[in-house]
Structure 1
Amino acid sequence: MPYHHLEPKEDPTVLSFNETEFTAQTESLIALRPRIEELADRLVDEGYDTLLLVGAGGTYAQMWPYEHLARRTSRLTVRSAIAAELVVSGDALLGERTAAVFTSVSGTTEDSLRAIEHCASRGALTIGFTGLPDSPVAQRVDVALVSAPKAWPFDVQLLLLLGRVLSRRGEFADYDRLADELAVLPKVLVDVARQAEPVAAAFAEAHKDADYHFLIGGGNLWGFTYLYSMCILEEMQWLRTTRVHSAEFFHGSLELLEEDTSVIVFQGEDETRPLTDRAEAFAKRISRDVSVFDTRDYPLDGISPEFRGLLSPLVLDTVMDRVSKHLERVRDHSLDLRRYYRVMDY
């Protein structure tokens, strides 16, 4: 099939999408703003000098955009860590001036629970974002910030937390304006879901028999690229994938491309966009099946142009949720089906 640029079109029918629940979940994230800002002010006022963003699997990958944001705009030490590795390897900066941030939808992830105990034992302040107030994660952290159940992703909370900290440090002058504009997200993201629906359906129909996908992304979308490859296509659909950062595309993985390879390109709106453009252009020279999901295609009414790049992970998550639901339909493979994850002991 010819490569195609996936442009959204209006369609009122959205598969397996509970608009009321989705809106309520997103509103619950925005409603955390006062408590998140109070926490951020505490971190600055009490002299915390390290933010450790700890996760496992998808929640680890979701930390990367905010490590990336801090790395390019701040002198504050902000780094992500894999929960299980943190426990066995440690971190030289972990101590009483460290704030360790955890995210968990279920609040029961064993690796994260052990990492919370590890961080607490080193004197760190532990912070948890979850949707279940009685979950083990919520009960074991020092500060629990609870949203609606099953609310995902955690980008709103992480952006508010890091944005406020950077603002207080004089490193994010427009934070208040950004935070105010997030109030329109519930409607904006519903619009994104509706517009992405026909694109998602078309992609799924065209690839229902594909058993391998090559994913490319960069900048603050690299985390989502990793997440979608591993947590959705591999874990939830049992499909084989290769995932590569657009800046690393020309250092090995490109040799896997063939003319019928399904290439999925995630394109955002930060300063790394030209790197993904370069990888996309090359992929189109080899493969006849290049699908580009570009956050720039979505209007995001009420969001200022200068903030669009920061919201690309959240927008892309909404778009690709539509793709996931349609892959589930055309492949007759439930997104909840597992063979090993939380099924077998390991």
Structure 2
Amino acid sequence: MLKFDAELFLKIVGQEALAQRPEIERVVDEIAAKEFKNIFLIGSGGTIAMMYPFEYILKSNSSLEVHAEIAAELLVMNNRHLTKDSVCVFASVTGTTKETVAAAQFCKDKGATTIGLVSKAGTPLAEAVDFCILAPDEKHSFDTFFLYLQLLTFRLIHNNDEFPQYDQFAKELDLLPQGIVQALEAFDERAEQFAIKHKDTGYQMLVGAGNLWGNTYSYAMCILEEMQWIKSKSIHAAEFFHGTLELVEEDTSVILFKGEDETRPLVERVERFAEKITKELFILDTKDYALDGISEEFRKHFAINVNWALTGRISVYLERERNHPLELRRYYRKMEY
């Protein structure tokens, strides 16, 4: 597969990242022992999008109070729920994202407990938080962070006496990286054909819901817009029929992210509409992939990780077909604003 080393992926994500499970559990158990009032999931750009699935999971699987907040907005909004009894989780691949670092210090100054997911030790975010959980490598850092957030989230729910299946969940999580590799191999040709067909498509609609809404938002903004300069719009499936449907025409490219949680019927409703109008409907459905050893009960949660990995295959082929490196920027971290 283009720009993908399965052996390296399984080493970083399947071995080294999962080896952090005892440390993540230690951190969560220590925090739970002190008791807390609420959880804040905080990030900027791709990392706030990364938090949205776990806000959804906490809201739909636990009575724990949770808030997902954009770092820069949190700094100015005077959120009255943020107190010394809050647990705040941050993520930054480089550990240098200014707004996220500032938000971590802001929360710490309020006496909140802070946890950071970072790929580099000694960076500003790593130094600012109470607990730093390191990714083994900057490569595959988002895949790693998604694993960490699965463990962190469900350990919190488990310690709140709401998820007795945690040990089985964590055991099956060990199998997920291999399942992802198999899914990537099965999807790769579709990803390449999509990129070939749509390398010059000027506008993309992306639709998702539930625990895939964050991935939908992230892929439109961080990949298509930031990394490929393609005009795009992320639309929540529940809101698609309140405006966006009027823009769908015969040649409109509509990408549907179908997951396996309770919101799947919302995406299927959009699918039924779109297939009547456009000839350019592309569906990425996690249900199409076997994920050997993963029980039906947990598939809906692991759809987050699978969907993220699969979209990465589209990205590398768009990069090739458009001759536009994913690292190329005009403005981001290039100029002051």
Q: TM-score, normalised by structure 2?
A: 0.97
The range that moved more, 57-66 or 87-96, is 87-96
Is 1:193 paired with 2:184?
Answer: yes
Q: Report the counterpart of residue 21 of structure 1 in structure 2.
A: 8
Given residue 142 of structure 2, which amino acid in structure 1 is its aligned partner? W
> Which residues of 2 match residues 50-89 of structure 1 at below 5 A?
50-89=38-77
2:122 matches 1:134:
yes
1:254 is displaced (CA, Å) by: 0.8
Q: How does 1:85-164 map to 2 (within 5 A)?
A: 85-150=73-138, 151-153=141-143, 154-164=145-155
CA contact (8 A) 1:295 1:312 kept: yes
Counterpart of 1:217 in structure 2 is 208
Equivalent residue letter for 1:15: L
Per the TM alignment, residue 147 of structure 1 is displaced from its structure 2 partner at its CA by: 1.7
Separation in 2, partners of 1:122, 1:182:
35
Hey, what's the Cα distance between the residues in 1 that align with 2:142 and 2:217? 16
Alignment correspondent of 2:263: 272
Q: 1:20 offset after TM fit, Å?
A: 3.0
Q: Alignment length, in residue pairs? A: 333
Q: Is the 8 A contact 1:24 1:148 kept in 2?
A: no
SS across alignment from 2:42:
strand
How far 1:291 sits from its partner (Å)?
A: 0.3
Amino acid at match of 2:20: L
Name the structure 2 match of 1:178: 169
- Identify the residue that residue 8 of structure 1 maps to in structure 2: none
Aligned position for 2:287? 296
Aligned mate of 1:329, from 316, 320, 326: 320
Give the structure, 1 or 2, with the largest relative contact order (CA under 8 Å, sep 6 or more): 1
Report the Cα distance in structure 1 between the residues aligned to 2:61 and 2:330, rounded to whole angstroms.
42
AA aligned to 1:72 is: S
Q: Which amino acid aligns with 2:215?
A: F
| CA–CA separation in structure 2 for the residues paired with 1:165 and 1:313 | 18
Aligned CA RMSD, in angstroms, stands at 1.0
What is the letter of the counterpart of residue 133 of structure 1? Answer: A
SS in 2 for 1:15: coil
One-letter amino acid of the structure 1 residue matched with residue 316 of structure 2: K
Q: Percent sequence identity over matched residues?
A: 44
Which amino acid is 2:3 matched to?
Answer: S
Measure how far apart 1:341 and its partner are: 0.6
* Equivalent in the alignment of 2:26: 38
Structure 1 residue ranges (4+ consecutive) displaced by more than 3 angstroms after TM superposition: none
1: CA distance, partners of 2:177 / 2:268: 30
Structure 2 residue runs without a partner (length 5+)? none
Partner of 2:336: 345
Map Cα deviations across residues 127-161 of structure 1 (whole Å, 9 max, x no partner): 10111112211111111011212122321111111
Query: Is 1:305 aligned with 2:296?
Result: yes
3-state SS of 1:345 partner: coil
Q: What's the CA shift string for 1:176-203, capped at 9, x where partnerless?
A: 1010111112322221221111111111
Match of 1:5 in 2: none
